[in-house]
Every structure is written in structure tokens, then in C-alpha cells.
Structure 1
Amino acid sequence: MPGRLDDVPMFNSNSPEWVKVPGILLSTFPPQGKTVPTAHLNYAFNGPFTLFTHHFSLNPKDLRTLYLGILVRNPGRSPVTLSIPAVASYLLNPDAPFANKPQMLENPTGAIHSGPGIRAVDTVLRGQRQPDFPAAVSIPAGGDRLLLNHPIPVKGLDRNLNGRSTFIRLSSSGPVYVADLAMYAPKTQEGKERSPTLAEWQTLLKTSGLAGPRDKTPTPPGRPGNLIYGRVAGVQKGSAWKATLADPGQAVLKLPSPGQTIAYPISTLRSGRFGTGQSQAAPLLVRYPDTAYEAHGNYCVHYDLALPLRNGTDTPQTVALTLTTPVKADRLAPQGLRFLASPTFPFFRGTVRLRYSSAEGRSITRYFHLWHRTGEQVKPLLTLNLNPKSTQTVKLDFLYPPDSTPPQVLKISTLSR
């Protein structure tokens, strides 16, 4: 895959995925003055950044509601403005339950989804901001503000299980620290649950350790044997991968011969590079020692791909674009990418966007919700007819959906006549 990750940092909180012991999920605050200094990673955001948090509550005692709080601190001597151009936060139930879907559906309004993380990135891809979030937050010098103070209710749900996924695009006018925190709902004197206050979140940040139970410890890079990727809790370097898919040194991508295919890997990682030797997993600038070494899967990374397709022949050609999930492999077998006669588990679930021009020159934007099993042969996203000696650019972009499993490939196939 041409291109690279940009340098925009992402606050990535996904460990522990299943929260049963409240505490600090991820804190980039300084460790000074904290009861558990090792729970704080000392990283300040300044300028554009993104934020992803994805956690579940399972079987809490007495069916208490777990709250997630995102606390932001301005350590400076002047006010800081935190702009929020796009944001979404959804519960598993009732907002976006996991559900089987057809392989591909047009999704013009975002009404189709199959999980809270999938719905959150769909909303942000469209540049939308949920109405319960402001367009900007002003943080006074030395002050704290809550960016999120949202519940994960479980009472009355199957298996007492629920989860929440949140994705935010932000920009800060000055340095800020960020923490993602988990707390069971405090109760009023009458015994009813209430939302935690800012002061209660501040106390938890200062006195608590890491939330639990801890996930599986990841395998260090280069160690042989069984590979455990681990869950991510840290700040990754990179929020977008922008690329023009063209022939080396050229401005266009020449169509393959009829019956042939070009394939570009997407979201490659250790043990899943399809023979390219390329890992696209975002490196982590700071992390907890028992969490992932890289942002495997690149959840919420914006893949923004342009394909300047060139039919250099003297005859019309038909080209098909397909996003698919072959059987994961680090090296290619002699037959190339492998698929299964009986695909099983869903590996890619989420919305992608296509932009291109019609034969009449009209700009077209289409959204598709995809639901693909690993190794499944799937239908093309788009089939185009290219006239002789013509070029047409197609743009494909999506935020890599949480609850999907990498890697994928984008195939460009010239169909036989």
C-alpha cells in the first residue's frame, strides 16, 4: 500500500475491554501527586488529535450502572479551547446491537449498523456531531472539564451485558492531558443512582489504579511461538492513512489485463502481511507495559484512498473494485490469496464511502454497509466501464471499524469480455 500514517495522535482506550473493576482505563496525565504513578503516561496533546474508547460492562454486582468519564486538563496559564468537529458515542444496547447483516447494503443515512463502534465511526465519517456534545469546550488555566460522563446500563439486559463506543475528532489550542475513567454510579440518599460529579472523577483520577481485570499480556515483537496481540491502551502515532494508488512513479493506475487483478493490503499487521513485508499497524508513543505494542487493527484510522484508473488500451474495459477479507497469511501461498468454501466468523463490519463521477460527469457519493466473513468471496463495491484511452478517479474511504478483524485487501480487477 502506498502512503503512510500521518502524525496526528490518537488517544486509544480499549484495555481492559471487559470492565469489572472500576478505575483508570487510560490516563496521559503526569504521574506527580498521584497515588498510583504508573497509571499515568505523561503525554500532552496539542493541536489536532482523535480519541477512541471502547469498553463493556459485564455482570456488575447488584446490576450497578458503570459510568465512563473522559476528563481533560489544561495545565497551562491561559485558557485552552478544545474544538470538536465530529463526535459520536453509542451503547451496544439499545443503540447498536451486534446483528447479522447482508453482505452489502446501501447505507445513505447511516441507519444500518452492526455494533456501537461501527455506528460511531460511521457517524464521524459523515462529519456529524451528536447533539449532546458541544462544538467546543473552553478549559480555564489549570482547570478540568468533562468531555464525557455517560452510563453503560445493564439492568434488564441479557447476561447483564452492555458496552459503549466513542470516537471523537478534536483540536486543542494548547497542551491538554486526557484520561478515560470508569466508576460505578454513586447513589443519592434515597438509594437511587446518579451521575458522578466532576469532583468525584478528579478524586478517582488522583487516587485510583488501573481498571480491571487486565487483558492477556501481549507477545513482545520478535518472540517466536504463539502470538498474542493484546488490547490497546495508549497514544498511537497516526489517525489517517492517505494514499493515491498508482503505478510506481506514475500519476495513474494502469488497469490489469482482462481476467487479472491487482490487490492492495489494508490494515496489515504482524503475522498478517500477505507477503508484502509491510505492517500498517500504528506505533504507540506511550502505553502500559501489559497492553499491545502496536495499534493492531488500526481501529478508527481513516483510510483515504484515491484510485486514478487508466484504460490505456484501444478498447473499452470493465473494472471491478472489491474490498474483501482473504484468509489471514503472512506469506502468500503459490495460488495467492486464499478464500474458503464455507466462511465462518464475521471479520469486517462497517460502512465505506465511494466517490466518483458518472458517465455524464455528475459527482456521485455512495455509502455501503459491509458485513463480510473471513475468507468469503464477496460482490464488488463498484463496477465501472472505462472508455479507450481514458482515466477515471474513484475515491474510497472509511474509518477502520472497531470489532472488525484485520487484514483486508482492496482488489482492482479487469473483467474478461
Structure 2
Amino acid sequence: MFWLAQTPSAPAPPPPQEIVIPQTVRPLPGQLDAVPVFNSNSPEIIGAEGILLSTFPSQGKRHPEAHLDFGFEGRFDLFAHHVYKALTPENLTTAYLGVIVYNPGTRPVTINTLQAASYLSQPDAPFISLPPFVDNPLGEVYAGPGSRAMSDVLRGRRQAIFPPQLIVPPGSYQMLLNLPIPIAPLDPPINGRSTLMRLRSDGPVYLASLALFARQDAAGNEIAPTLEDWQTILETGNLVTPRDRPPTLLDNTAPTNQIIYGRVAGVGIGSRWQAQVTDQPTSAELTIPDPGSAFSYGLSTLARGRLGSDQSQTAPLRVRYPDTAYEAHGNYGIQYDLSLPLHNPTNQPRTVTIALQTPIKEDTLSRNGLRFFEPLPPQTFFRGTVRVRYTDDQGLPQTRYVHLVQRRGQQGEPLATLQMPAGDRRLVEFSFLYPPDSTPPQVLTVSTLEE
């Protein structure tokens, strides 16, 4: 008789342990601009045909409560992020996401598409496993449709599927978007689409994001819904069901109470946060930290996640549905453009690093610093591309795009390391669009290494 040797099972990974980095989180200077954002993210999962978000007037509509009556003119953004999975195992019909636009005026309205991108999870941008830090100079590195779309718009791109202009005759409808979310032959049959468009209209318009299933031609092949199909669902349809979990009240801030942020369906105010990050509002420089120390600025801070900064950066909502988020928590699709005019005022050279980090979320710093995990837990909290511009140690301008994947409590690698001589001044510019499928908040940290 032969005995088979048993292969010992791999030991379980050690549980994450907290690391506390003593430092402060400063409020981020600046504020969101006043550009309205059509934000369609609830219900996240499309379970029926109907209205996802309508800013049309309610008059003449079969379900007036589904229409929020908000007109767009001038600069505005459109963000839409939805998932579709098979309603039954046998039904693999494609769903379509449509955005219909209406010109209520008496003259044609031109909508210019400044930048735009829309991608599917499959096959455009699957959620693949990537290293935490990958240079992404050409935009070919991404994990998920939100990661890819934000990277494109950060680079100023307009995807070829979007025409540069759309002219809407007076009193007429046009489709700004009419794109499929296919699920056959995926296993499991689930797919998602993320879209961001930066637009400018020379007249007032109303918008609605809608869900329809593919129609069939005479041969039984799937075809896209027509303008008339979309107009009919706009006028007669109700809000898409099932609905997402409703939010808790914003003033429900007792530490023992669970907060449910909810998903967004409404018009947010603010497309971009631009700031000159300096010591004081009247200062023109940002003094580097002492050796061995650091300071941070919150990014996408929110209620219960202000990290001791006493600042919530969440975009307010001008209109919303009663069962959806009170604010645009997460600031999906919002761009941050931060300028850091670093200054080494000492008579010694210093080594300074800039890093994006994902500390453990809390509202106040319970341990007098940012808390991180080591080893890291499995949950991914950030995946997306950031851009950093600076003058390197040879005096040459550098522009670096980096795709980051960070887990909860991850400290992150330096995006830039600067050897700053005594008295040196160096401008660092940091930009990114907050990507869907990420969990706020993050911080931008400036550190000076030990001598």
C-alpha cells in the first residue's frame, strides 16, 4: 500500500493591521465651479424599460413625478453609469441606454461636444487585475469602463462615436446617445456602461436618460430603438425599477448610526475643482514639510469621511428624486486640477514626494493621523489614471500619466520625487477625474523624507 503525501494548505494571510502616520489633513483650497452636471447613476442596475433621469417639464407626461424640470444652456456635463444583467436566464436581449434632448425654443440649438467617452465593461474595458502603479502615457491601461472613460476625458479626447456637433431644430427631439449594453454571450450575462460628455449648448435644452430593450427587424435581428421609441417612453414611461436603496438623512450623523449615501439621479452643480494650494489664501507658495513629516489634502471628502479636514467637497444637487442621494457623493466624473507651488525655504537640500493615498475612512482623525493597513485587505477602493506635471531635477518639464489601483488603507507610491536644493521653488500640477467604481475619500500627500 502506498500512502499519498498530503500537500499542506497555504497558510491564511495575516489579518490587516493598522498603521498610523501622524500628520494633518488640510482643507483643500478652492471650490467646485457652477457647471451643472446631468448625473444618471440610479438605479444603477437597469431592471425594466423606463426613465432613468428626466429634466423635462412634467406637463403632458403620463408620470409627472418622473420629470424634474431643469433646463441646460451653455456649459454642462453628462455623466451616466448603469449596469444591465439578464432579467431571466433565457432572456439575453440587449438593453439600450438613450439620452434624448429637446429644444423648446423657436430657433435651432447647437450642442457642441467638447470631450466625450463611453465604454462597456465587456469587451471595451473589463475589470482586470492590474499592479498598483502603472505608467499610462497613451491611455491604454485601464480597469473598468469608468477608469477608461475618465482617462480619455482627462486627455481632452472625444471618442469617434460622438459627432462634434448636434443641431436640434426648434420644438424637436434628437438623440444625444443611443448605445447598447449587450449581455449575450457573456457568462455571467451582466454588463455595464460608463459615459462622460462635456457639452456646450447655445440655447436652452432638456435632457432625459432612458432605458429600452432592443427592437427586432423583419428577420428577427436586434436593432436599436428609434427616436420615436425613445420619445414614446419619455412621454408615457415611469421611473425604471427596481429602485436602489434610499439614502438616510444627511443630518443622521450619530457615530453609531449607519449612513446610506444612495446613488445619484439628478443635476449636480460643479464639474471641476481648481485650486492653487498654498500655505495661506494670501500666500504664493506651499512650504514643504519638515524632514520625516507630511501633510495631506482631501480629495472627494464627504459626510462621515472628512478625515479631520471639516470639509465636504461633495457636489450639491439642484434637483433629484426623493429616493436617491441627497448629494453627488463620490463626485464621479468631476475633475480636480491642483497646482502646488512647492518651496524649500531652508538652507539644506530636501527630498520631497507627492502621492495619492487611500487612508481608512473616518470623519475625524481618531489617532491624530491617517490610518492605513498592512498587509492590505482585498477591497479595491480606487482605480483610475492621474496626471502629474512638474519640472524634474534636470530642469526639464515632465508630464506623467499613471494608472493607480489602490485598496482600502493603501499608502500609495510616489507620483513624483523631487530633489529640492536649498531655497528651491518647484511647481507641481496634479489632475484627475474621480472615476466611477471607486470609493472616496482619497488624499494627496506631500512628504519630506528623513535626512
- TM-score for both structures, normalised by structure 2: 0.91
For residue 378 of structure 1, give the secondary structure of its aligned residue in structure 2: coil
Partner residue in 2 for 1:181: 210
Contact 1:43–1:177 under 8 Å retained in 2: yes
Contact 1:60–1:160 under 8 Å retained in 2: no
Partner residue in 2 for 1:115: 144
1:232 matched to 2:232? The reply is no
Query: Alpha-carbon deviation of 1:334?
Result: 2.7
CA offset digits 1:90-147 (Å, max 9, x no partner): 0000000112210100000111000001111111111111112111111111111111
CA offset digits 1:24-75 (Å, max 9, x no partner): 0001010001000010100001100111000010113411100011111111
Aligned counterpart for 2:390 among listed residues 356, 366, 371: 356
CA offset digits 1:142-166 (Å, max 9, x no partner): 1111111110000110121001111
Partner residue in 2 for 1:321: 354
Match of 1:132, as an amino acid? I
Aligned counterpart for 1:83 among listed residues 112, 118, 139: 112
Match of 1:240, as an amino acid? R
Contact 1:265–1:409 under 8 Å retained in 2: yes
CA offset digits 1:171-228 (Å, max 9, x no partner): 0001110110000011123222111000110001000000111000000111242110
Match of 2:79, as an amino acid? F
Match of 2:102, as an amino acid? R
Partner residue in 1 for 2:5: none
Structure 2 CA distance for aligned equivalents of residues 163 and 358 of structure 1: 40
1:414 matched to 2:443? The reply is no
Contact 1:67–1:183 under 8 Å retained in 2: yes
Contact 2:306–2:362 under 8 Å retained in 1: yes
Query: Alpha-carbon deviation of 1:362?
Result: 2.7
For residue 263 of structure 1, give the secondary structure of its aligned residue in structure 2: strand
Partner residue in 1 for 2:38: 11
Partner residue in 1 for 2:274: 242
Structure 1 CA distance for aligned equivalents of residues 303 and 393 of structure 2: 42
CA offset digits 1:211-260 (Å, max 9, x no partner): 11100000011124211000000000100110111001211000111001
Match of 1:184, as an amino acid? F
Structure 2 CA distance for aligned equivalents of residues 333 and 260 of structure 1: 19
Partner residue in 1 for 2:4: none
Aligned counterpart for 1:307 among listed residues 307, 327, 340: 340
Counterparts of 1:92-171 in structure 2, within 5 Å, are: 92-171=121-200
Partner residue in 1 for 2:307: 274
Partner residue in 2 for 1:66: 95
Query: Alpha-carbon deviation of 1:380?
Result: 1.0
Aligned counterpart for 1:196 among listed residues 225, 228, 243: 225
1:219 matched to 2:248? The reply is yes
Structure 2: tracts of 5 or more residues without a match: 1-27
Partner residue in 1 for 2:7: none
For residue 174 of structure 2, give the secondary structure of its aligned residue in structure 1: strand
Partner residue in 2 for 1:23: 50
Structure 1 CA distance for aligned equivalents of residues 65 and 103 of structure 2: 21
- TM-score for both structures, normalised by structure 1: 0.98
CA offset digits 1:307-361 (Å, max 9, x no partner): 0000111111110101000000011023411011232211010000011123343
For residue 339 of structure 2, give the secondary structure of its aligned residue in structure 1: strand
1:47 matched to 2:79? The reply is no
CA offset digits 1:253-301 (Å, max 9, x no partner): 0011100101111111011011121110000000000000000000011
Match of 2:238, as an amino acid? G
Aligned counterpart for 1:347 among listed residues 355, 377, 381: 381
Contact 1:14–1:54 under 8 Å retained in 2: yes
Structure 1: tracts of 5 or more residues without a match: none
For residue 113 of structure 2, give the secondary structure of its aligned residue in structure 1: strand
Structure 2 CA distance for aligned equivalents of residues 293 and 377 of structure 1: 30
Larger Rg: 2
Aligned counterpart for 1:262 among listed residues 252, 271, 295: 295
1:252 matched to 2:285? The reply is yes
Match of 2:211, as an amino acid? A
